[in-house]
């Protein structure tokens, strides 16, 4: 894989997916697969690629049988650290914790920039109304075997407006094809779009909705990763880029969507009308919530670029992907902990297989109770509170991005009788696999202090591992021999082969 230079950042301009694709292609990270079927084949190939490759490329599927060959599906946009950094306008040569640290600095200093409202853009190259609207003409995948439908929205934007305040929100809430002009959506409790929806239903009014399927992946990050309440996701995106993005005001709803969107729709939800939705393979790697009645949007206008691209980020079992989500979440938990006054945090990480269910924090212990404070705050600050399970605090010598190191710390620096606490009745939700159906809502947390006990930390057994200085000295001296040993060893460590 090509390595981008330290200073390489993306082409910003109009925040256009096609510019992003050019950058990714130039870095040698875009592959094309022609002829995979929308029904399971495309999803299965995506999963197999993620299983087998430690640095999975972005993959563009075209020539989907039965469809216009130029109507495409793009997957794995953010599945490497380098593409995540490129998308977030950060240097692309950073390792995991420095990247998280750079991201949190960017988030802390972020000044939202309002979008430019423009009269037209590429998304208006094709405009359809009424009977001419047909989403069945797009190669929408059925991603996993147990899915109850074809999911058009897995890496997309759902734009809604608060019926009382008029404030707009952009969220990523899964969208299932119901019919050629109907899409179902599932929004979980507490999400901004859900609050807007509930207000409109209470008032008994049709609820206008716009959606975008296919856009610059930074907009997907904005729609899917806790932009704070009260901050508009387009303004946030502008803040990350350092310049406004271009949006169009939807002619029917007045809701805004990016001028360079690949596909956009405008429509409305009618109070009281529901259709079966789900199930859908969710990010924990399960079907924890069943098929049930959910609202749907009746589409009144469809807009799309020539040769449109659907972006997909269906969740697969998190043992094979999702590092970017770990990094983004880690940055917001770290900032939340710092804002709550926890000093000397050296790193925060969420092991990708566990995602939000496990937060690992490294600290330089400064006072008695520092580790406990870090653990409690990590588990309950806003970014860490929802759907967590385990919080592990380790000393600063542990590499928290290496699961082996974390397991070693737990195994050797925690004593179950004295290092563990359980919090009860904490914030969970419908996706929590271990909570019984009908009981979902609360769960519990375990916090583990896997640190040298503060009172006798200076007498804690020294580790037998070589010091950084010794490692450096001999790895420099024997560099050639070591390099040749390494080259004769496995080139990469394939996963799931």
Applying the rule CB under 6 A, the residues between 306 and 365 that interact with ligand FMN are: 313, 315
Measure the CA–CA gap between 172 and 157, rounded to whole angstroms: 5
- Residue from the set 115, 171, 238, 279 that interacts with ligand FMN by CB under 6 A: 171
Nearer to ligand FMN, 155 or 359 (CB): 155
Residue 160, interface with Mn ion (CB under 5 A)?
no
Site stretch for Mn ion (CB under 5 A), options 116-124, 166-174, 298-306, 320-328: 166-174
* Interaction pattern, residues 184-213, with ligand FMN; x per rule: CB under 6 A: --xxx--xxx--------------------
Applying the rule CB under 5 A, the residues between 168 and 187 that interact with Mn ion are: 169
Nearer to ligand FMN, 161 or 370 (CB): 161
Nearest distance from C-beta of residue 482 to ligand FMN, angstroms = 40
Residue 174, interface with ligand FMN (CB under 6 A)?
yes
Nearest distance from C-beta of residue 226 to ligand FMN, angstroms = 5
Nearest distance from C-beta of residue 383 to Mn ion, angstroms = 14
Nearest distance from C-beta of residue 385 to Mn ion, angstroms = 17
Residue 384, interface with ligand FMN (CB under 6 A)?
no
Nearer to ligand FMN, 38 or 173 (CB): 173
Nearer to ligand FMN, 89 or 188 (CB): 188
Residue 26, interface with ligand FMN (CB under 6 A)?
no
When CB distances are held under 5 to 8 angstroms depending on the partner's kind, the choice from ligand FMN, Mn ion, none that residue 224 binds is: ligand FMN
Tokens of 328: 């983004």
Residue 192, interface with Mn ion (CB under 5 A)?
yes
Binding-site residue total for ligand FMN (CB under 6 A)?
A: 18
Nearer to ligand FMN, 232 or 401 (CB): 232
What is the gyration radius of the CA atoms in the chain, in angstroms?
24
Nearer to ligand FMN, 191 or 346 (CB): 191
Measure the CA–CA gap between 94 and 229, rounded to whole angstroms: 29
Binding-site residue total for Mn ion (CB under 5 A)?
A: 2
Q: Position of tokens 């503060």? A: 454
Residue 156, interface with Mn ion (CB under 5 A)?
no
Nearest distance from C-beta of residue 248 to ligand FMN, angstroms = 20
Nearest to 20 by CA among 12, 35, 28: 12
Site stretch for ligand FMN (CB under 6 A), options 60-68, 223-231, 245-253, 329-337: 223-231
* Interaction pattern, residues 103-142, with ligand FMN; x per rule: CB under 6 A: ----------------------------------------
Nearer to Mn ion, 83 or 192 (CB): 192
- Residue from the set 226, 290, 407, 485 that interacts with ligand FMN by CB under 6 A: 226
Nearer to ligand FMN, 139 or 153 (CB): 153
Where on the chain is the footprint of ligand FMN (CB under 6 A)?
154-155, 169, 171-174, 186-188, 191-193, 224-226, 313, 315
Binding site for Mn ion (CB under 5 A): 169, 192
């Amino acid at each position: 894989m090509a390595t981008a230079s330290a200073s390489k950042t993306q082409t910003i301009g109009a925040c256009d997916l096609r510019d992003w694709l050019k950058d990714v292609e130039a870095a040698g990270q875009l592959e094309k697969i022609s002829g995979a079927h929308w029904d399971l084949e495309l999803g299965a190939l995506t999963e197999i690629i993620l299983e087998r490759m430690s640095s999975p490329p972005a993959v563009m599927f075209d020539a989907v049988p039965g469809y216009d060959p130029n109507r495409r599906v793009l997957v794995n946009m953010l599945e490497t650290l380098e593409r995540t950094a490129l998308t977030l306008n950060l240097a692309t040569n950073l390792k995991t914790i420095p990247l998280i640290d750079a991201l949190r600095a960017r988030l802390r200093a972020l000044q939202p920039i309002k979008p430019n409202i423009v009269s037209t853009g590429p998304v208006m190259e094709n405009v359809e109304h009424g009977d001419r609207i047909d989403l069945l003409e797009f190669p929408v995948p059925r991603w996993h075997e147990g899915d109850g439908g074809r999911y058009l929205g897995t890496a997309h934007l759902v734009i809604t407006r608060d019926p009382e305040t008029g404030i707009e929100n952009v969220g990523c809430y899964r969208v299932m094809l119901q019919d050629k002009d109907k899409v179902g959506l599932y929004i979980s409790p507490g999400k901004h779009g859900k609050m807007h929806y509930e207000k409109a239903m209470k008032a008994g009014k049709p609820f206008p909705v716009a959606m975008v399927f296919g856009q610059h992946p930074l907009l997907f990050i904005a729609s899917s990763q806790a932009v704070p309440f009260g901050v508009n996701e387009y303004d946030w995106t502008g803040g990350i880029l350092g310049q406004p993005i271009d949006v169009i005001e939807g002619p029917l709803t007045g809701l805004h969507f990016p001028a360079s969107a690949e596909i956009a729709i405008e429509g409305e939800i009618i109070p009281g009308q529901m259709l079966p939705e789900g199930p859908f393979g969710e990010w924990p790697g399960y079907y924890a919530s069943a098929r049930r009645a959910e609202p749907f949007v009746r589409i009144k206008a469809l807009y799309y670029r020539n040769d449109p691209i659907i972006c997909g980020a269906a969740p697969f079992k998190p043992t094979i992907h999702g590092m970017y989500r770990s990094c983004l979440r880690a940055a917001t938990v770290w900032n939340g902990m710092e804002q709550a006054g926890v000093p000397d945090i050296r790193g925060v990480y969420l092991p990708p297989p566990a995602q939000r269910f496990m937060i690992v924090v490294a600290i330089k212990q400064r006072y008695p109770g520092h580790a406990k404070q870090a653990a409690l705050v990590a588990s309950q600050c806003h970014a860490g509170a929802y759907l967590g399970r385990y919080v592990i605090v380790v000393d600063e010598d542990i590499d928290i991005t290496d699961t082996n190191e974390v397991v070693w710390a737990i195994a050797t620096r925690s004593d179950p009788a004295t290092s563990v606490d359980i919090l009860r009745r904490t914030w969970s939700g419908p996706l929590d696999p271990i909570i019984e159906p009908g009981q979902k809502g609360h769960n519990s947390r375990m916090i583990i202090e896997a640190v040298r006990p503060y009172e006798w930390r200076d007498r804690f057994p020294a580790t037998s591992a070589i010091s950084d200085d010794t490692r450096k000295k001999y790895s420099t001296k024997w560099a050639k021999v070591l390099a040749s040993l390494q080259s004769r060893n496995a080139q990469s460590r394939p996963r799931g082969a």
